[in-house]
Amino acid sequence: MKQKVYFKTFGCRTNMYDSQVMMSSMKAYDIAESEQDAQIIVVNSCTVTNGADTHVRSYISGIKKTNPDVKIFITGCGAHTKGASLLEQNKVFGVFGQSEKEKIDTLLAQKQPFYNPGDLNHIDTTVVDEFIGKSRAFIKIQEGCNFRCSYCIIPFVRGDARSMDEDRIVEQVQRLASNGFGEFILTGTNVGSYGQDKKSSLAKLMKRLSMLRGVRRIRLGSVEPIQISDEFKELLDEPWLEKHLHIALQHTSPTMLKLMNRRNVYKQDKELFEFLAQKGFAIGTDFITGFPGETQELWNEAIEHAKALPLTHIHAFTYSKRDGTPAAHMKPEVNGSVAKERLHQIQDLVDEKNYAFRKAVAEPLNVLVESYKEGAYHGLDQFFNKIIIESNEDLLGNWITIDQYDVKGDCNYARI
């Protein structure tokens, strides 16, 4: 009887992909569907903020209380920042870096506690041909980041930017497409940097992937404004490109962008976003409120700038200190309640913009139905907007076109 392993994944899509690599590489063990069924738990951790570290530690402590006999391993970004201390405190049995995940069978079979942070220059070679429990496939195309934003620890735990082998990416998409996947999300630490080390580009890769049989939609993870090149813009009218781009701004005040050591410039960001909106794209972004030095005057400037942008989606969060980054020592700090108030302000603004965008859409929605819960089907359209569908048919995993639907405050609704 094989031992069962449960994978607990925190953080970003890159971690989701890495967990899938481990599951695909594992041969000597079975996958458990819950912690209760597992003899071993692998925690794929996030360390983007001190709070992320706290969530991981709390999860591990909770498991230890309810099941003290379970063997816990930690990997992911937190392995580099907190792995050694967790091992020393006997909270985990083993610690291994992202580069070691393809050796999962060997690692889980270790008889003695170990710490193996791995190699920050590693490139994956595993080809994943299945995504357990998913109707969309995540494809990691690169690893690491050459940017040095003042709040971010990730380059120090993921390494510098490096691209996956293009032929391996193509093989992976071909296999997944043959297994029924039609939507592919290209992900990585800094997706837009793909190809810079290989005399290629993200646009070239996307063109090649779009020609593979079975590929219906390609979606990108977060890209930087400066990575939307002229070559990339030539793809904007292609039917296989999702009509939604997530372009990381982090702020809209020029002063704050400098404090964050960002490479984008608000004036240029606005011109780019207006160009994309004219092309019919929904546009999402990241935004940090309460970063050190964010005065009320600068916030007023930022929110006015945000009002002028054709945004439809936002991933906004209050600043959280990350030890080991320049921002951790910056002053003056912003009161937490003020940061939350600003967070709600910009979220409400973009929610209104999203509703207006959905009301104005004049074309049918192309939806991949991803799940069934509470008596209805749930999916995402080409603009990355959620739609809830009532139907007596079995729609799960299907692509459907919807002409008639109701636009409501939270999302779109349809009955077919």
What pLDDT, in 10s, does the model give residues 252-265?
999 999 999 999 99
Arithmetic mean of pLDDT, 182-208: 94
Arithmetic mean of pLDDT, 237-242: 96
Lowest-confidence region among 26-30, 121-125, 221-225, 330-334: 121-125
Outline where DSSP puts E strands in 22-98.
30-31, 40-45, 71-76, 94-96
Q: According to the model, what pLDDT value does residue 49 have?
A: 74
Q: How far is CA 411 from the centre of its chain?
A: 21
The band of 132, judged by pLDDT with boundaries at 50, 70 and 90, is low
Task: Quote the tokens at residue 93.
Answer: 């049995």
Q: Which CATH architecture has domain 137-360?
A: Alpha-Beta Horseshoe (3.80)
Is residue 416 within 8 A of residue 393, CB to CB? The reply is yes
SS3 category, 326: helix
Q: Name the CA dihedral angle for 233, 238, 243, 248, rounded to a multiple of 10 degrees.
A: -30
Is residue 368 within 8 A of residue 395, CB to CB? The reply is no
Place of tokens 């392995």: 79
Domain ranges of the chain: 4-116, 137-360, 365-415
Task: Quote the tokens at residue 207.
Answer: 């063109």
Q: Which CATH architecture has domain 4-116?
A: 3-Layer(aba) Sandwich (3.40)
For the whole model, what pTM was predicted? 0.84
For residue range 153-184, what is the model confidence (pLDDT) as tens digits?
888 888 899 999 999 999 999 999 998 899 99
Q: According to the model, what pLDDT value does residue 82 have?
A: 87
| β-sheet with 386-390: strand ranges across | 399-402, 365-373, 376-380, 386-390, 412-415, 406-407
For residue range 388-408, what is the model confidence (pLDDT) as tens digits?
999 999 999 899 999 999 999
Per-chain mean pLDDT for the chain = 93
Outline where DSSP puts E strands in 48-144.
71-76, 94-96, 114-116, 137-140, 142-143
Lowest-confidence region among 46-60, 214-228, 286-300, 368-382: 46-60
Task: Quote the tokens at residue 175.
Answer: 């296999």
Q: According to the model, what pLDDT value does residue 1 have?
A: 83
From residue 100, how far is each of 106, 406, 416 by CA, in Å? 10, 48, 47
pLDDT score of 286 more than 60: yes
Tell me 18's DSSP state.
H
Q: According to the model, what pLDDT value does residue 130 have?
A: 66
pLDDT score of 129 more than 70: no
The band of 6, judged by pLDDT with boundaries at 50, 70 and 90, is very high
pLDDT score of 124 more than 80: no
